[in-house]
Amino acid sequence: MDLWSSSSSSSLSDNVLVDSRDGRIYKTVTIGMQTWMAEDLKLEYNHGSATSFCYETTDFINGIYDSLCSEYYGRVYTWAAAMDSAGIYSSKGGCGYHVVCSLVNPVRGICPEGWHLPSEAEFTALRDYVGDDYEGSNGGTKLKATAGWCGAGGNGVDEFGFSAIPTPNRSANGNLDINFICTKAVYWGASQEIATEECYGSTCKIYNDPFKKSGCTSLGCPEYFDASINAVGMSLRYDWHGVILGYTDKRAAYSVRCIKD
């Protein structure tokens, strides 16, 4: 796809992406063979249950979201919004909660033309390139920004220019996670693969996500591994040095970092 043509809805030059849909300019960064947005997406998207939200200090605490987005924080999106379930920018509509989509990567979703939502494989390639093996390496520290994270040692070194910042998010039940403003960043992906799971007594652990557990039943952990309910996300945390890949409820609202086609 020619990103320089006049018909394109975005342009890329000197590590900058211009999204002509709203005129916003984003930094970009090449890490290995991948080119990523180096800022969180800010495009407003609200179509039915496919919604996005913004963080503004006063309104966020009072449970009210402004339509305008902070230039520091991007918007956070339900998975349906991230996937462009209304089909505004792509022909693939209808993805959302309690829907199993037939996906063929790359999936543009809400991303600018010439860019797409990362697949689980692309998240994995990023994690592997920055040297994270889940067993205690510091790939997450290399991706995190040098300021904005909670706690002593929470900030990163931003070795590659990915500049991940902690972002407020909206939980699956609609609650505002105001207690997590500086603790984590979660990025939606375009994969619904069922994760490997195993019961440990009364708890269930999702491989590649040491923080997510649920009660086991005789069926294992069916809800966490239901592709109609959950989609893949990449998470970075203030208290964890690695890169976390796991599955999360599609009704939650998280950030979007697009990757170049």
User: What are the pLDDT digits (tens) for 28-44?
Assistant: 999 999 999 999 999 99
Q: Note whether residue 30 is domain-resident.
A: yes
Q: Note whether residue 246 is domain-resident.
A: yes
Q: What is the pLDDT of residues 79-114, one digit of tens each?
A: 999 999 888 998 766 687 767 777 788 999 999 999
CA triple 259-118-53, angle to 5 deg: 90
Q: Note whether residue 28 is domain-resident.
A: yes
Is the predicted pLDDT of residue 172 greater than 90, yes or no? no
Q: Note whether residue 38 is domain-resident.
A: yes
Banded pLDDT at 127 (limits 50, 70, 90) = very high
Q: Note whether residue 94 is domain-resident.
A: yes
Residue 49 belongs to what domain range? 10-192+227-260
C-alpha dist (Å) from residue 64 to 76, 77, 174: 14, 16, 12
How many domains are there within the chain?
1
**Do 236 and 35 form a contact (C-beta atoms < 8 A)?**
no
**Do 252 and 199 form a contact (C-beta atoms < 8 A)?**
no
Q: Note whether residue 4 is domain-resident.
A: no
Banded pLDDT at 143 (limits 50, 70, 90) = very high
Q: Note whether residue 215 is domain-resident.
A: no
Q: Note whether residue 58 is domain-resident.
A: yes
CA distance 256 to 74: 8
Mean pLDDT, range 149-156, rounded to an integer: 90
Largest CA distance in the chain: 59
Tell the burial category of 64 from Cβ atoms under 10 Å away from its Cβ (0-12, 13-18, 19+). exposed
**106 preceded by a cis bond (ω within 30 of 0):** yes
- What's the confidence (pLDDT) of residue 63? 45
